[in-house]
A = this chain, B = another copy of it.
Amino acid sequence: MIQHRAFRVEPWAVRETELHQDLLAQTESVFALSNGHIGLRGNLDEGEPFGLPGTYLSGFYELRPLPYAEAGYGNPESGQTVLNVTNGKLIRLLVVDEPFDIRYGELRSHERVLDLRAGVLRRTAEWVSPTGRAVRVTSTRMVSFTQRAVAAISYEVEPIDDAFPIVIQSELVANESMPQTEADPRAAAALAAPLQSEDYIAIDSRAVLTHKTAASGLRLSAAMGHVIDGPEGTESNCEAFEDMARLTITGDISTGQPLRMVKFLGYSWSAQRSLSAVRDQVGAAQSEAMHRGWDKLLAEQREFLDDFWDRADCEIEGDEELQQAVRFALFHVLQAGARAEQRAIAAKGLTGSGYDGHAFWDTETFVLPLLTYTVPRAAADALKWRHSTLDLARERAQQLGLEGAAFPWRTIRGQECSGYWPAGTAAFHINADIADAVHRYVMATEDDAFDRDVGTELLVETARLWRSLGHHDASGRFRIDGVTGPDEYSAIADNNVYTNLMAQQNLRAAADAAGRHPEVATRLGVDAEEAASWRDAAQSMVIPYDDLRGIHPQAEDFSEHDRWDFQNTSPEQYPLLLHFPYFDLYRKQVVKQADLVLAMFMRPDSFTDEQKMRNFAYYEALTVRDSSLSANTQAVLAAEVGYPELAYDYFAEAALMDLDDLEHNTRDGLHIASLAGAFIAAIAGFGGVRDHRGALSFAPRLPEALSRLVFRLSFRGRRLRIEISHAQARYTLVDGEPLEIEHHGQKLTVDGRPLTRKIPPAPNLTPPKQPPGREPARRRPLR
């Protein structure tokens, strides 16, 4: 955990003013750059020291065997793991004859800034070599949002009141040696030297390395090209080997006579295309980038981000730290999804190798809502990736003896990679989560082409899964037994409320979609009987309720179980999964992450206000938040049932997850879903936004510390701006046709003129208790 804040609080940047070597791995994640296709961890230009070297390409993986102590039918035999690909970030510097290495000599100053509007990482270091040569090194790194296959680095070296020779080595390095990963199940598995050289070329200041993976058979080319601007006499030479290409620049620099270089990187990979095709593609990308030049790339990057902020910015007054955190969150979610383009958006984005680089349900549940309301094209792309894996999901369903499609719990390419089925395959809710994201996207965008070509098939195949997974009991109720809901401290339970409510919506949405697109329905073999059977199952869905306690049990009989002994659980025993067997966690009332509470957010109309209040209190007392996928949902429900201050605490936790390294594993990559969740907590919590599938409602209410909240939404072709203060909310239609909305239950039509409405006073309620020691930190804003 970052004990003292590592970053300065600024509205539009994350600035580290001093290099903390012990925090290197964390800051590499925080300073990671990505466009959703290429990801570069914030490793130092010179490569060392490092926490975890990382260069990733979306969808590029190697296979690794999944071992089992005892075999079981249907267990996947191999898993996919993200690879650290050819490192093009590497720029080594020799000052006279000493390598620039911050561990030696004297580091007079060191600053890194992630500029959220420019979309670059800037670094400035002043260093004195062990023999006393002072030098200023400046670099600016960018992964281009507009040129998907391109990254670039501007690098400058200048002596401070001195003159001396330097050597710069700008490299491509494949199969970097990686640090030993730990035994923590959440840390990713490392693979040794996974890239096999196929080809290497160096010409002038350019080089290309091409490799192939042994097991997954994916081919990768990485290219670099350089523009060098140095004092007279500066010379360069480029050479390539199997796992390394190197441009060596020698020059004599002096104060006012720096050596500057721009490095243009291109990355390309394919599962099918030939060596020459992949190599040519990357060469073309890199040439085009050089042709455009650094300044143009910078300008395009800024333009892209200006547009994004225009559509997505969330302004917070009264807590500067959270203002920064929410923008940081939005920026990284954009980085993860902007150009993923029909590849999976991983839980860590492309910021680290945690979770083996896999995508889970949280992409659909937390990330896609954000993208749907801000960058809808990216949301569509992510769902098109799911659509492209339908054949694999159908195969998996068949293997499991089910109809329709069973999407994988964790994957890169689409195959199930979960090696522990009670918290993997059994978590079938992922299918309803995908359906929910489809349904939300279609309702929020009215994108008919997507609905017809992509969405309907996803809804139909997931509905078929539910229909075959559940059954009608003797009294005609539709049960879904033996599945695992979102809470990973329960498993294999009957009639998980979240799962059943999401499946219910899935079944209905599929019947509706089949009705909207009869030609698609026909092609998929859906007839009236099948659609009716979906509606019938949805109608008869079992939703357990505990009359005695007046609450919804998370799953059938959940509230009959023993409560976890929170009193005798010490702070060091969290997260519980590292200190107690699943056996014990599963059989007791203890909740890792919002499950029933998430159900209340996702299906708000299925609960009365009083049920929400009682359920929320009941689960607050059981929820330990050993997952980063909890605080944001607790924030939303806390706000809804009338605890804005508690919501504020949870919102802060979600937003600061990575900047403050709250789960001690930011080193493995950022918690993209928690970051997305921070935005959701802001708009759905303090803004009270609910999307009733085509109808937006708002119930804004700020916590005491915040004086103003402004956010934007794209919805059905409109762009809305919502500005909230303690007393009132102001709704502005920035663009598009008039739209009917609700404000605290009152219907309004927003058109050309901003509408201002009063906010009813908050009830004065005493919030419920959390398990001892698991209360969210009481938020005290920096102002």
Contacts and interface: CB of A to CB of B under 8 A. Distances in A.
A426 B583 CA distance: 7
Given A73-B577, A492-B586, 6 more contacts: A72-B577, A73-B578, A74-B581, A481-B587, A492-B492, A492-B583
A71 interface: yes
Interface in A403-429: 418-426
Given A492-B491, A587-B481, A581 B72 contact: yes
A584 B401 CA distance: 8
A67 to B, nearest CB: 3
A162 interface: no
Contacts of A483: 587
Contact of A482 (B75, B400, B579, B583): B583
A547 interface: no
Interface in A723-765: none
Interface of A: 66-76, 79, 183, 185, 399-401, 418-426, 471, 473-474, 479, 481-483, 491-492, 494, 548, 556-557, 560-562, 577-584, 586-588
Nearest to A472: B562
A73 B421 contact: no
A494 B557 contact: yes
Contact of A185 (B67, B71, B577, B583): B71
Contact of A561 (B67, B481, B562, B584): B481
Nearest to A421: B583
Contacts of A492: 422, 491-492, 583, 586-587
A400 B71 contact: no
Given A492-B586, A492-B587, A421 B560 contact: no
A422 to B, nearest CB: 7
B561 A74 contact: no
Nearest to A576: B73
Contacts of A479: 560-562
A159 to B, nearest CB: 51
A590 B246 CA distance: 64
B419 A422 contact: no
Nearest to A561: B481
A69 B420 contact: yes
Given A481-B562, A560-B494, A419 B69 contact: yes
A580 B426 CA distance: 14
A69 B439 CA distance: 34
B420 A583 contact: no
A128 B72 CA distance: 48
B79 A583 contact: no
9 contacts: A67-B67, A71-B183, A426-B583, A481-B562, A481-B587, A481-B588, A482-B586, A483-B587, A492-B586
Nearest to A187: B71
Nearest to A584: B401
Contact of A401 (B69, B72, B580): B580
Interface centre among A76, A473, A581 (most CB of B within 10 A): A581
Contact of A68 (B67, B418, B584): B67
A182 to B, nearest CB: 11
A68 B494 CA distance: 26
Nearest to A492: B492
Contacts of A425: 581, 583
A401 B579 CA distance: 10
A401 B565 CA distance: 11
B581 A474 contact: no
A582 B492 CA distance: 11
A577 B73 CA distance: 7
B70 A420 contact: yes
Contact of A73 (B70, B401, B580): B580
Contacts of A71: 183, 185
Contacts of A419: 68-70
A72 B420 contact: yes
B185 A74 contact: no
A582 B421 contact: yes
Interface centre among A399, A419, A492 (most CB of B within 10 A): A492
Nearest to A76: B69
Contacts of A67: 67-69
Contacts of A588: 481-482
A183 B581 CA distance: 28
Nearest to A491: B492
Contacts of A586: 482, 492
Contacts of A423: 70
Contact of A422 (B75, B422, B580): B422
Contact of A400 (B418, B494, B583): B583
Contacts of A75: 69
A399 B579 CA distance: 9
A235 B347 CA distance: 77
A409 to B, nearest CB: 11
Nearest to A71: B185
A560 B470 CA distance: 12
Interface centre among A418, A548, A557, A579 (most CB of B within 10 A): A557
A400 to B, nearest CB: 6
Contacts of A557: 494, 556-557
A408 to B, nearest CB: 14
A73 B424 CA distance: 17
Contacts of A418: 69-70
Contacts of A73: 577-582
Contact of A581 (B421, B471, B577): B421
A171 B582 CA distance: 50
A471 B562 contact: yes
A257 B432 CA distance: 84
9 cross-chain pairs, A with B, having the tightest CB-CB distances, nearest first? A69-B419, A482-B587, A67-B67, A74-B581, A66-B69, A471-B562, A70-B420, A71-B185, A481-B587
A580 B577 CA distance: 28
A419 B419 CA distance: 13
Given A69-B420, A70-B419, A419-B70, A548 B474 contact: yes
A181 to B, nearest CB: 12
Nearest to A420: B70
A185 B560 contact: no
B185 A72 contact: yes
A87 B332 CA distance: 65
B421 A185 contact: no
